[in-house]
Amino acid sequence: MIINDVVCPFCGCLCDDLELEVEGDRILRVQNGCSLSEATFMNDTRLPAPIRRTASGWEEIPYADAIKETADILRDSDRPLLYGWSSTHGETQSVGVHIAERIGAVIDNTSTVCHGPSILAIQEVGHPGCTLGQVKNRADVIIYWGCNPIEAHPRHMSRYTTFATGFFVPDAQRERTIIVVDTRRNDSGGIADEFVQIEPGGDYAVLSALRAIVRGKESIIPKKVAGIAKEQLIRIAGICTNAKFGAIFFGLGLTMSRGKYKNVRNAIELTDELNRHTKFVISPMRGHGNVYGSNEVFTWMTGYPFAVDFARGIAFYNPGETTAVDILRRGECDAALIVASDPGAHFPRAAAEHLAKIPTVLIDPHVNATTALSRIQIPCTAAGIDAAGTAYRMDGVPIRLRKVIDRGYPDDAEILKKIYDRLNGELGP
């Protein structure tokens, strides 16, 4: 059977034009997708059944036992951490927030080690953005700053920017100017009209220089800023102010390098400045397929996009304190529930190490590095493959992930609801 217009759940692009050939519980072929998408659908090896760590290895256990033990662990915990959420759909995220509220947990999502600093910047200065179709149909200047779309979002350029035919940009390749800013000359830099190689840690200074030039203060700029010649900076500022519609996409090169959220703030303020000359927008390149959805769901339910601590009864938010890496580094949490993510691989050593010291439960379809650190893993459906649900694209457009096959696994939302019901039953009103 051929299924059209399938949504790829892997990255924040949520490309929704895939064609899948399926037979029974198997996917035979993926068309239109990138290599990440193909791997997502075709190499989908699952943990077969719930497992529990024993003194010498691992044993399979029934779902009911795994769910009961998980509920027991959470109930008995004084300071539980619920983490992950970005590779599953909104309904699961929503049940997760309810559990966190019920047991007074800290709940955090993967933006904490991704675009968390972008959120902090947005909370200081706002976010002039748009949906990706605005860029596709109008933009004549595209800037990729501290991100590598060819590697991390392989179809971003062909669907939304460089190579995408837009209504006001019928001849995209000729009519769009592409600027790539990075500390490293990567493949994305290779196709740029202007490649700007910044010295590591120099983003803030370069952004400040561009803001100054846009404000007409180029005389104060030294000959070189973080390795960039003044002439190139002036040329780039000129390209921006002469654009009809400009779009900046930025990645972890801004959020993870020195300055972190202040880099992003500076980039947003450059965008703000450019809007006094022409139309300019800026957007983070969100990584996980539904990481933006976890921010949205957390926000409408708790008021905060990530790092929410319910220990006081109310929702409390203080990044740096209530963020997952900090909670783990301080050895503060005494139990962890990890859903749809892999902090074992993606958290610094000391943070991951604490997960192995406390009862950690992983609800995820795949065996990953966190498996080894867990006491229990409960396999479930993968959103967009054998489960349907809502995901939010990097620009905030909500898209319904489809269920294309059935592999007989329970939905993670169902597993969490059973845990929630147990907790409600045991903890009373």
Partner 1 sequence: MNCILNTGRSVSQGVSVEHKGSEEYRSVASACLLNTVDMLVLGIEDGARVRISSPAGQVVLTARSSDGVARGEIFMTIGPYANHIISSETHGTGMPDFKNQKVDVEATDEPVLSVGELMEEIGGMRYDH
Partner 2 sequence: MNEILVKNACVIDPIRGINGDIMDIAIRDGRIVESVSDRAEIIDAHRCLTLPGGIDSHTHVCGTKVNFGRYMSPEDMRAGRTRRHGRMHVTSGYYVPTTFGNSYRYSAMGYTTLLEGAMAPLEARHTHEEFTATPHQDMLANTLFDGNWAVMDAVREKNIPKTAAIVGWTLNAVKGYAIKLTNPGGTEAWGWGEDLTSIHEKVPHFEVTPSEIITTMIRANELLRLPHSVHLHCNNLGKPGNYQTTLDTFDLVPDLNPDRQTLYATHVQFHAYGGGTWRNICSKAEDITRSINSKPQIVMDMGQIMFCRTMTMTADGPMEFNLHCLHHNKWSNHDVELETGSGIIPVTYSKKSAVNCIMWAIGLELALLTKNPWQCLLETDNPNGAPFVKYPEVIGLLMSKRYRDEECATLHADTERRTSLFALEREMDWHDIAVMTRAGQAKALGIVNQGKGHLGAGAEADIAIYPIRTDSVDPAREYRKVVEGFQKTRFTIKRGRVVSRDGEIIVDGANATFWTNALIPEDIRVDNDPEFIRRFQEFYTVRMSNYPVQDLYLPRGRRVDTEAFS
Residues 261 to 280 in contact with partner 2, rule: CB under 8 A: 272, 275-276, 278-279
Q: Is 244 in the site for partner 2 (CB under 8 A)?
A: yes
* Closest distance of CB 357 from partner 2, Å: 30
Q: Is 303 in the site for partner 2 (CB under 8 A)?
A: yes
Q: Using CA atoms in the order 350, 285, 294, 366, what is the torsion angle rounded to 10 degrees?
A: -60
Beta strands in 32-120 (DSSP E): 51-53, 58-60, 80-84, 106-109
Nearer to partner 2, 55 or 167 (CB): 167
Smallest Cα–Cα separation from 6: which of 46, 41, 44?
41
Positions 341 through 380 that interact with partner 1 (CB under 8 A)? 342, 344-353, 356-357, 366-369, 371-373, 377
Give the separation between CA 287 and CA 36, rounded to whole angstroms: 12
Smallest Cα–Cα separation from 181: which of 220, 141, 121?
141
Nearer to partner 1, 137 or 195 (CB): 195
Positions 301 through 340 that interact with partner 1 (CB under 8 A)? 306-307, 319-321, 323-326, 328-329
Helix (H, G, I), strand (E, B), or coil: what is residue 229?
Answer: strand
Smallest Cα–Cα separation from 355: which of 82, 102, 10?
82
Nearer to partner 2, 51 or 135 (CB): 135
Positions 145 through 184 that interact with partner 2 (CB under 8 A)? 159-160, 165-168
Q: Do strands 376-378 and 360-363 pair parallel, antiparallel, or not at all (unpaired)?
A: parallel
Beta strands in 326-416 (DSSP E): 335-339, 360-363, 376-378, 389-392, 398-401
DSSP conformation letters of 245-311: EEEEEE-HHHHSSTTTHHHHHHHHHHHHHHTTTSEEEEEE---BTTHHHHHHHHHHHHS-SS-EE-T
Q: Is 154 in the site for partner 1 (CB under 8 A)?
A: yes
Nearer to partner 2, 51 or 301 (CB): 301
* Site track 36-75 with partner 2 (rule: CB under 8 A), x = hit: ----------------------------------------
Give the separation between CA 91 and CA 416, rounded to whole angstroms: 10
Cβ proximity of 378 and 125 under 8 Å: no
Positions 392 through 421 that interact with partner 2 (CB under 8 A)? 392, 396-400
Q: Is 27 exposed, middle or buried (0-12, 13-18, 19+ CB in 10 A)?
A: buried
* Closest distance of CB 276 from partner 1, Å: 30
Helix (H) or strand (E) segment spanning residue 90: helix 90-103
Q: 226-244 in b/e burial notation, b at 16+ Cβ within 10 A? A: bebeeebbeebbebbbebe
Positions 374 through 413 that interact with partner 1 (CB under 8 A)? 377
Q: Is 310 in the site for partner 2 (CB under 8 A)?
A: yes
Nearer to partner 1, 1 or 39 (CB): 39
* Interaction partner, residue 36 (partner 1, partner 2, none; CB < 5-8 Å by kind): partner 1
**DSSP symbol at 193:** S
Positions 94 through 133 that interact with partner 1 (CB under 8 A)? 112-113, 116-117, 120
* Interaction partner, residue 315 (partner 2, partner 1, none; CB < 5-8 Å by kind): partner 2
Positions 202 through 241 that interact with partner 2 (CB under 8 A)? none
Alpha carbon separation from 37 to 46, 77, 150, 214, 384 (Å, rounded): 17, 38, 13, 40, 11
Q: Do strands 376-378 and 51-53 pair parallel, antiparallel, or not at all (unpaired)?
A: antiparallel
* Site track 92-121 with partner 2 (rule: CB under 8 A), x = hit: --x---x--xx----------------x--
Q: Which residue in the set 69, 140, 203, 296 belongs to the binding site for partner 2 (CB under 8 A)?
A: 296
* Closest distance of CB 155 from partner 2, Å: 11
* Closest distance of CB 118 from partner 2, Å: 11
Residue 426 structure tokens = 């045991």
Q: Cα Rg for the chain, rounded, in angstroms?
A: 23
Q: Which residue in the set 30, 132, 141, 172 belongs to the binding site for partner 2 (CB under 8 A)?
A: 132
Q: Which residues bind partner 2 (CB under 8 A)?
A: 4-5, 7, 16-17, 90, 94, 98, 101-102, 119, 122-134, 136-138, 159-160, 165-168, 244-245, 272, 275-276, 278-279, 281, 295-296, 299-305, 310, 313-315, 317, 390, 392, 396-400, 429
